[in-house]
Amino acid sequence: MPPGDRWLTLSRAALLASLGLSWLNFLLTSRWASVPGALHGPKAPFFVAALAAATILALVSRRLAPITFGRESIVAALAGLAAIGVCFFIWFPPRTWNEIPFSDNWPARLQATLDQLALLRHGTLVGWQWNYLGGYPLSTDLTVTLTIPALVPMLLLGGRAGFHLAHLLIFLSLPLLVWWDLRIERRSSQFDVHSSKFEVERALPRLAGALTAVTTLGYSYVMLRSGDTNSVAGVAATMLALVGSHATAARRRWGPFVFVGGLTLILYSHAGFLVYAAILLAVESVCYLDWRRLARAVAATAAASLAGLPLTWEAWRYPHYFIYNNVQFDTTRPWNWIGMARKVAYNIQILGEPSRWLNDYTGLACVWLPVIVAMVWIARRSRTGFYAAAVFAVLAMTRFNVPEVGYAFVRPFHLLTVFVAPVLAAFILRTARTRALAWALVAVTAIYVQVLVAPVPHVPNLEADQPALVATIRGLDGALVLVENTFHRDMDASPDTTSEPTPFRAHFQSLLATETGKRLYAGVWDGWQWSPYRGQLVAGGAWMGRAIGTWPRARFIAELRRWGIRHLLVIHEPTRQYLTAPEFERDGDVGPYAHFELRDADTRSVVTPTGRGELAEHDPLGARVALRDVHAGDRVVVRTNYYPAWTASARGTAVPVINVDGQLAFVAPFDGSYDVTLAYPRRPWLFVLALAGFALGVTVVPRITARP
């Protein structure tokens, strides 16, 4: 059989197999009918009609062939971008842009971005978060800020409005980056070795961009409810790095700047995606059978690592204060390799069960897997072939999504948005033969993807949603106030019991400290954070990874006294029952919260054996400890966690910082009344090193990969 006939036979078999899987997926997944945007909702008749048309047309087309799709691809591309714009203004109406998105992690995402923007104005990207977990280094929140991707919009429009605009730009960037990448391929004359149809080459970037716009809309259900849009920024930055890699290989002068810049942006938006980018760059090298691409990737990643040091330095400098796994509470216990293997096997099993595929971009990859397999071979050593191989790399990575590695291999699935669509676009253009079949396949893909068309809830401030809680906390005393967290995640590490879920739609603790001016014994994110102090919170009737009722009450009370906590506002019944004891007095209810008070509490923010001390002022880069009538040699304990980056001074004299029961402390250097200044290092030299690393990368990368 001639090579062309073998290619056509393989394409037709792959198409029919994928259409068959589409039917199985649709017929076996009726239990998802209640999920907004699911196939078995209002769009079911349209999907069935499009799928039936595509199936019939594929069956009657005995011989597949490339088609021209010039004007149609332009219309599709413009429609895709318009759809993103229209949907975005439904999700975020302009009147809400100066308000707070109030669903799941959105409040914390916005507040973290605003906090780091304030730090950046002081010449640094990291500092100290005084208000949560007793105080922890912001350098551990590596993956939760959008400050650098959103910097320009936020400077132009202000914090909240700029934050919204940045999301619109990030969403629009994904189809544009795919279009840009494939334009490089077309101009390099490396695409479509099986067809001489120039219209196919010219239409591919546009149709791929259009379908990427459709898959991008799929983020609405996956991310808009949760606010975990740092992953969207990670996808955009990863795609930017891949465009730069491609451009550098094609000898574009701007390629190294985009390549190193994209890898650097990954670190400043979602550092975990650097691992995924490294794997994908290795896959790219194999697909093109070009070791120079791999050498370039190593050099560019090293340069980007230097450029990212202003954010990541402390994670390297103090590795024991950064915990990569925020899924498991105790990361020191030995791994259960047999249990891990079973979970991996289960993840693989799901790939073979169409009834388990949701109609998101992962389900789309599974439905079209036969086509993607075919395209790995048909489009080998081309950009489309790389995208097809990248789909397999992502699916392989997500099979290792087990608790023992945290979220390390759950986030890669978001990359399917930019990898599946170009493969489908290329396949349609290569094989559709008729415009009717092409449009039917486009319709099947567009209707399949689940899109949530509803506004994200917003509030002008937290007081508008929780007036009683905010007003009450403002009037409380104590070094810290304990507020039971509103987490959706299970905060009980025991496999036999589960913590109670929150009754609230948003994790609003991140706003409480800002609006009340109080420091809280609470956490910010939805579950364990990346700091060793992450157990210092009560959530869902659990404390320190166990149901609170299993702890001796004396142990819990000792913790409250260590932190100077008098007031406790709790919401879950197990915690209320636990605090119903002689050591506590119930002060009534604050909305849904029960208010308890610890009897005979020591509420000082600074503990001294003689005289008195007070945490008079504090910000992310320092604090002023006011001492009155102390004696030289007194041990002074500031009620915040110890961290080695802190320095202290008094009257121009350095004061050594020490660790006392896990809290920051020092020895009073003088008798009398004076202030001790705590300082968190700004490290401006890291920005110089970052610029040098970037400059070195864009200089060295094209040289070491140049062909002789």
Pick the closest to residue 286 from 183, 414, 371, 376 (CA basis).
Answer: 376
The closest of 640, 626, 630, 628 to 609, measured between CA atoms, is 630
Q: Quick one: pLDDT band at residue 5, thresholds 50, 70, 90?
A: low
Query: 487-526: per-residue pLDDT in tens?
Result: 888 899 888 888 888 888 899 999 999 999 999 999 998 8
For residues 72-78, average pLDDT: 91
Q: For residue 493, what pLDDT is reported?
A: 86
pLDDT at 559 over 80: yes
Please tell me the predicted confidence (pLDDT) of residue 178. Answer: 97
- Give the three-state DSSP class for 597: strand
**Which pLDDT does position 418 carry in this prediction?**
96
| 123-176: pLDDT as tens digits | 999 999 999 999 999 999 988 889 999 999 999 999 999 999 999 999 999 999
Measure Cα distances from 23 to 30, 201, 446, 572 in Å: 12, 31, 15, 45
Which helix (DSSP H) or strand (DSSP E) does residue 49 occupy?
helix 44-60
* Torsion 554-559-564-569 (CA) sign: negative
Strand boundaries in 163-298, DSSP class E? none
DSSP 488: S
At 2 the pLDDT is 41
Other Cβ atoms less than 10 A from the Cβ of 89: the count is 12
Is there a contact between 416 and 361 (Cβ–Cβ < 8 Å)? yes
pLDDT at 495: 82
**What's the pLDDT score for residue 200?**
62
Average pLDDT, the chain: 91
How far is C-alpha 247 from the chain's CA centre?
A: 27
CB 414 within 8 A of CB 449: no
**Mean of the pLDDT values across residues 306-325?**
94
CB atoms within 10 A of CB 254: 12
- Which helix (H) or strand (E) segment holds residue 387: the answer is helix 383-398
DSSP string, 185-220: HHHTT-S-TT---HHHHHHHHHHHHHHHHHHHHTHI
- pLDDT attached to residue 190: 43
Give the C-alpha separation, 625 to 648, whole Å: 10
Residue 435 sits at φ, ψ, to 5 deg, of: -65, -30
Question: Using an 8 Å Cβ cutoff, are 260 and 701 in contact?
Answer: yes
Inter-CA distances, 67 with 400, 426, 435, Å: 40, 11, 7
Of all helices (H) and strands (E), which one includes residue 12? helix 3-28
Q: What is the pLDDT of residue 6?
A: 63
Question: Can you give the three-state secondary structure of 494-520, one letter per residue?
Answer: CCCCCCCCCCCCECCHHHHHHHHCCCE
Contact assessment for residue 81 and residue 175, using Cβ atoms and an 8 Å cutoff = yes
Q: Is 146 exposed, middle or buried (0-12, 13-18, 19+ CB in 10 A)?
A: buried
pLDDT digits (tens, 9 = 90+) for 220-246: 988 888 888 999 999 999 999 999 999
Q: Are 314 and 137 in contact (CB under 8 A)?
A: yes
β-pairing, 657-660 vs 622-630, is unpaired
- Determine the average pLDDT of the residues in 107-121: 94
Pairing state between β 546-547 and 542-543: antiparallel
For residue 598, the model assigns a pLDDT of 97
pLDDT at 193: 38
Stretch among 145-149, 199-203, 313-317, 551-555 having the lowest mean pLDDT: 199-203
Query: Coil, strand, or helix at residue 643?
Result: coil
When computed from its CA atoms, the radius of gyration of the chain, rounded to whole angstroms, is 28
Distance of CA 488 to the CA centre of its chain: 16
C-alpha distances in Å from residue 704, one per residue of 243, 246, 254, 381, 657: 18, 15, 16, 22, 47
Task: State percent of the chain over pLDDT 70.
Answer: 95
Q: What is the pLDDT of residues 448-484, one digit of tens each?
A: 998 988 999 999 999 999 999 999 999 999 999 999 9
Higher-confidence residue of 185 and 23: namely 23
> What pLDDT, on a 0 to 100 scale, did the predictor assign at position 356?
85
- 241-284: pLDDT as tens digits: 999 999 999 999 999 999 999 999 999 999 989 999 999 999 99
Structural domains in the chain, sorted by start: 3-448 (no CATH), 460-598 (no CATH), 606-685 (2.60.40)
E strands within 122-205?
Answer: 128-129, 136-137
* Bridge-based pairing state of the strands 520-521 and 538-539: unpaired
Least confident of 89-103, 420-434, 562-576: 420-434
The counts of H helices and E strands in the chain are 25, 21
Give, in degrees to the nearest 5, the angle at Cα 255 between 379 and 701. Answer: 105
What average pLDDT does range 55-81 have in this prediction?
86
**If we measure between CA atoms, which residue out of 312, 316, 292, 293 comes closest to residue 304?**
312
Note the pLDDT tens digit of each residue in 613-671.
999 999 999 999 999 999 999 999 999 999 999 999 999 999 999 999 999 999 999 99
Q: Residue 296 has what DSSP assignment?
A: H
Q: Which two tokens stand for residue 246?
A: 């491609």
User: Is the pLDDT score of 197 beyond 50?
Assistant: no
pLDDT at 419: 97
What b-and-e string marks burial along 291-314, b requiring 16 or more CB atoms within 10 Å of the CB? eebbebbebbbbbbbbbbbbbbbb
The helix/strand/coil state of 623 is strand
The SS3 assignment for 117 reads: helix
CA distance 209 to 81: 9
DSSP code of residue 104: B
Least Cα distance to 271 among 106, 407, 109 occurs for: 407
